Structure 1
Amino acid sequence: MARSDVDQILARKERWGTNRAAMELSSAVERLEREWLAIRRQAAAFTDFIPMRLVTLIEVFVREVIREIVDYGPPYLDRAEKLAKGARIDFIFASNLQGRKLSIGDLVAHSIPVNSPTNIIAAFEGLIPDFTASLKLAHPRWSEEVDTWPQPPVIQDFDLTLATLTKLFEVRHILTHEFPQERPYESNEIVGFLAAARELLSAIDWVIVDKLKGSVPQTQIMMNIQAGNSLIDLEAQMKGLLQAVSDKQDVSSELLETSQIAWLEYADREADLHASLVEGGSMHSMVWASAKSDLVRHRIDELQWWINREEGDL
């Protein structure tokens, strides 16, 4: 991967912000749809902007979601190698990876073509083998509504939506790279473009929720409960690793215990610090649990190093 490629990825990440949620892009499509429907008669001269903006939102959304999936870890990280087979990880990229400026997910996300619905679906299929089938059935997966599943799919007519998106990408290409005498679309198609883009992003979003989390909470109470349960699971994993490290003959169990006591004190105080940003609010317990969960994950990595340590590793 050449330096110019790395610089472009870094520049995009700086303009975009640090790993903002892909849901923000889905909301941007919905907002664009509302605004267009409100002013379309007065703004007819600017109709060409809509297809160009829509495809940009879709492309950025797809790359952000691909990054999220790959960085989630196995089995998606294992499958990502095929998607990035044309990209060479060299010293320049590795140095940025080491400095945490970039991730493997960034590399994969910026190595795939996203210039057509077919390419987009193929990229997701490379990571999630049953992606197309899941996309056709995708529906909101709120934790509070599990008893009502399965719900009607977000994409009601998959073939029609795919055909509309294909036309949208073709129109964007013409508008961006040519100057046709006549518009390559009818004005009344804009509403369909907006609806198809909204459906695609929403459906992809729910597929990823299904694969990575199963469901997501809709209310703050449920968010708090889910964050707490996630922390409990992580702490149980950490406890098991601690015992495994303690059982190793070349590790001082006494020093390990002293280290863990100090770490627990640090982790609790660091979580207190983060939660103080919403002191007294309904989000307090969720922020506290989320902050400590991040620290526990890092501690798990540290303990895993001790378990996998080979002679001579210091």
Structure 2
Amino acid sequence: MSRTRDIIQEIAEIRQRRRFGSAMAELPLRLFALEHAFKKHDKSENELTRYFPVALIACVEGYFRMAIKDLIDAGEPYLSNAEKPGSSIKLDFAVLRAVHGKTITVGELVAHGVQLSRLEHLEGVLSNLLGTQFLQALRTTTDRWAHEVKGEPAALILTKPDEVFADVARTFELRHIICHEIASAYEIESEEVARCFESCVAFLRAADELISETIHPAAPLTQTGINIAAGKSLDERRGRLAEAVAELRSRLGAAELTAFDESQEKWQTYCDAWADFVAGERASGGTIWPVIYAGAAEALVKQRLVEVSGYKRLGDEG
């Protein structure tokens, strides 16, 4: 099996190991479990203490690979900005075919290939993608939830950014020592790990806020607002599909029109049934049910829009 084929398979397997498809959704689950374990563990167990920096950097690296993917797949200008970070990736026909066939995305390909083993690597890749100095931007990032929802004064997430950046860099260093050296004479103090833990969490919070605001500026923060926005997005996408359907219908003959209308009716039934299946029972879905339903339905509407528009172009060429 070729190295290229390995990469495509690795990306597919990474997808399967995630509960959600975005960095913003995955991060809190992992951090919460790790923070809970850190607070509960016996500080006298030195060997166990050594492995928390490893888990922390796993969170950091995993989060940023997803964030890089999300940024690039969000489109311009981040797709064009990915040229430098993605310049080291070797492309062959198998990769081109996978991207063209939507087996993998450009964002997944770049995120999988970039090096993220030091803080400097993170800064370089994110600065390129964002078009601004990443660490500098984190210095001025504020907590929208605390300000807009809880009514607290606008405040910086990182009150001591230099210390946070130094601790994150140190956590990377500790991870390297623990993973790549036996280092039997090297002692790691629980207090230092605690400080690194606090700084890494703050760093990730600030990065998540910055990247989320970059991809979805001024997005709603409350569940009600999110539900409304998801519904509006679905309605907008349905409107575009309706326009494409009307255009296609105007070009079809009587026999084709009957067959197309039947296919569209069956597709709509399928779309509704699949979205219901993905979202589950409304009673058990809680306040997040509308978002799950709208997301599943919109994905199918988007795919149908491509099919209908593509058939129209094919007809024009014939």
How would you bin the TM-score normalised by the shorter chain? Answer: 0.7 to 0.9
What 5-or-longer segments of structure 2 have no aligned partner?
none
Question: Which of these residues, 265, 282, 287, is aligned with residue 279 of structure 1?
Answer: 282
2:207 partner amino acid: I
- Alignment TM-score, normalising by the size of structure 2: 0.81
Quote how far apart the aligned CAs of 1:24 are.
2.5
Cross-structure match for 2:210: 207
Partner Cα separation in structure 2 for residue 286 and residue 23 of structure 1: 13
What 5-or-longer segments of structure 1 have no aligned partner?
none
1:272–1:288: 8 Å Cα contact kept in structure 2? Answer: no
- Alignment TM-score, normalising by the size of structure 1: 0.82
Verify: 1:290 aligned to 2:300, yes or no.
no
Quote how far apart the aligned CAs of 1:199 are.
1.2
Identity of aligned residues (%): 23
Verify: 1:46 aligned to 2:48, yes or no.
yes
Cross-structure match for 2:161: 158
Q: What is the count of residue pairs matched by the alignment? A: 310
1:66–1:124: 8 Å Cα contact kept in structure 2? Answer: yes
1:138–1:153: 8 Å Cα contact kept in structure 2? Answer: yes
- Larger displacement relative to structure 2 (223-232 or 33-42): 33-42
2:48 partner amino acid: F
2:272 partner amino acid: A
2:31–2:59: 8 Å Cα contact kept in structure 1? Answer: yes
Question: Which of these residues, 116, 119, 123, is aligned with residue 117 of structure 1?
Answer: 119
Quote how far apart the aligned CAs of 1:17 are.
6.0
Partner Cα separation in structure 1 for residue 165 and residue 258 of structure 2: 57
Q: Secondary structure at the match of 1:81?
A: coil
Question: Which of these residues, 26, 29, 32, is aligned with residue 27 of structure 1?
Answer: 29
Cross-structure match for 2:236: 233
Question: Which of these residues, 178, 182, 186, is aligned with residue 183 of structure 1?
Answer: 186
1:203 partner amino acid: A
Question: Which of these residues, 127, 130, 134, is aligned with residue 128 of structure 1?
Answer: 130
Question: Which of these residues, 197, 202, 216, is aligned with residue 200 of structure 2?
Answer: 197
Partner Cα separation in structure 2 for residue 14 and residue 144 of structure 1: 36
What value does the CA root-mean-square deviation take over the aligned residues? 3.4
Cross-structure match for 1:96: 98
Partner Cα separation in structure 1 for residue 314 and residue 152 of structure 2: 46
- Larger displacement relative to structure 2 (170-179 or 132-141): 132-141
- Larger displacement relative to structure 2 (211-220 or 116-125): 211-220
1:295 partner amino acid: L
2:18–2:26: 8 Å Cα contact kept in structure 1? Answer: no
Quote how far apart the aligned CAs of 1:206 are.
1.4
Partner Cα separation in structure 2 for residue 309 and residue 288 of structure 1: 32
Q: Secondary structure at the match of 1:83?
A: coil
1:123 partner amino acid: V
